[in-house]
Amino acid sequence: MIRQLQKNEEIPYKLLLLADETIEAINRYINDSEIYIFENDNETIAVYALQKISDDTIEIKNIAVDTKHQGQGIGKLLLRDAISRAKAKGFKTIVIGTGDIAIKQLYLYQKEGFEIFDIKKSFYLDNYPNPIYENGIQLKDMVMLKKELI
C-alpha cells in the first residue's frame, strides 16, 4: 500500500540514499516535499518525494525501491502513483531528473511516457562534494524528463 508519510514520522533516509548521494543533497528538498511510502508487512520498502516547482509543475525529486525488492514492478507502480496524484492535485506537468548514464532509470521513465526536455550540464559536479561513479563512468549531467498531465 502506498501512503503519504506524516510530518511526525521518521524520514526514510536509508531508502532515499539509494537515489541520492548525500543526506545534505536530500535535505535540500525533502522538508519541502510530500513523501510517499510503499509498505509491505509494516516494512517501508520504497519511497518517492514530490516537490512543487511552480503552480503548473511538480517534480519527483527522489524515487527508490529497497534493493531486495527491485525489479518486481514497484518502481513502475510508484511512478504511476506519482503521476496520478500530480494529476489529481491539478498540476499540468510532472518532471523527473536522473543521471546521464542511468540507463535503467531513463528506460523506465520514458516507457512511462516521460520525454527528455533539458540537460542540466555539470549538475553532479557542481552539487556534490565528491565525484560519483556508476559502472565506472563519472556522473556529470542531469537529464530532465517531463510528462504532460492533460
What does the binding site for ligand ACO look like in residue numbers (CB under 6 A)?
Answer: 18-19, 60, 62-65, 70-76, 96-98, 104-105, 107-108, 111
Q: Contact 123/99 with Cβ under 8 angstroms?
A: no
CB of 9 to ligand ACO, least distance (A): 20
Q: State in angstroms the smallest separation of the CB of 129 from ligand ACO.
A: 19
Q: Cα–Cα distance between 82 and 102 in angstroms, integer?
A: 20
| Residue 38 CB, nearest approach to ligand ACO (Å) | 10
Shortest Cβ 133–ligand ACO spacing (Å): 14
Q: Letter for the amino acid at 150?
A: I
Q: Which residue is nearest to ligand ACO (CB)?
A: 75
Q: Which is nearer to ligand ACO, 102 or 149 (CB)?
A: 102
Task: Pick between residue 33 and residue 105 the one whose CB is nearest to ligand ACO.
Answer: 105
CA-based torsion, 69, 10, 143, 53: positive or negative: positive
In this structure, the number of other CB atoms found within 10 A of the CB of residue 145 comes to 21
Pairwise CA distance, residues 92 & 100, whole Å: 25
